Amino acid sequence: MTDNYDDLDEEPIPTGELTLQTLAMPAYTNPNGDIFGGWLMSQMDLAGSIKASSIACGRVTTVAAGSMAFLRPVPVGATVSCYAEVLETGRSSIRILVDVWLYSAETGERYKVTEGTFVYVAIDDNGRTRPIDR
Ligand SMILES: CC(C)(COP(=O)(O)OP(=O)(O)OC[C@H]1O[C@@H](n2cnc3c(N)ncnc32)[C@H](O)[C@@H]1OP(=O)(O)O)[C@@H](O)C(=O)NCCC(=O)NCCS
């Protein structure tokens, strides 16, 4: 994960695995008419949890999220793609980097919007931590 958000735009292609793709709908807009950041964060959390769940072979929960910066507004109608990459696996936790890229069908443009790290913990049916079977 880069510490310099000026570098984010310069990454030419997405890394990680495409785990979630969706459409930015008008219902998710802020008062400026652009997409609300909280919605984007929830998509990132979902994307990371899909990846974490596949690694943990079962139920996971989000225990922490790192800082993130929103570089460009997300317009309504854009295709939002979340790419997840495992950074570290612990006894019960998995740290995942989630990158978000946009694709505009109108302009053909594809660019990175943000990235963030999320930590998930494998849990059992009672919500208690369980070790990840490696
Ligand atoms: C996730 C949860 C089950 C962990 O319980 P816990 O008693 O804190 O468990 P532990 O202290 O054994 O920690 C479990 C793992 O999480 C890691 N962890 C805990 N807090 C962390 C944090 N703030 N940042 C990063 N990792 C963290 C620990 O290092 C440990 O990793 P490891 O097993 O790979 O070594 C519990 O905190 C919980 O239920 N939290 C609420 C989760 C939730 O509702 N998420 C949705 C938010 S809306």
Enumerate domains of the chain plus CATH numbers. 16-122 (3.10.129.10)
Testing ligand 1's pocket by substitution, the residue of 97, 121, 123, 133 carrying the most ligand atoms inside 8 A of its CB is 121
- 42 in contact with ligand 1, CB cutoff 6 A: no
Residue nearest atom 23 of ligand 1, based on CA coordinates: 64
What integer pLDDT is reported at residue 99 of this predicted model?
Answer: 94
By the 8 A CB rule, do 70 and 36 touch? no
By the 8 A CB rule, do 29 and 76 touch? yes
Å from CA of 78 to ligand 1 middle: 34
Would you give per-residue pLDDT tens digits along the chain (134 residues)?
Answer: 445 555 555 567 888 999 999 999 999 999 989 899 999 999 999 999 999 999 999 999 999 999 888 888 899 999 999 999 999 999 999 999 999 999 877 788 889 999 999 999 999 999 999 999 87
Place of tokens 């997840």: 84
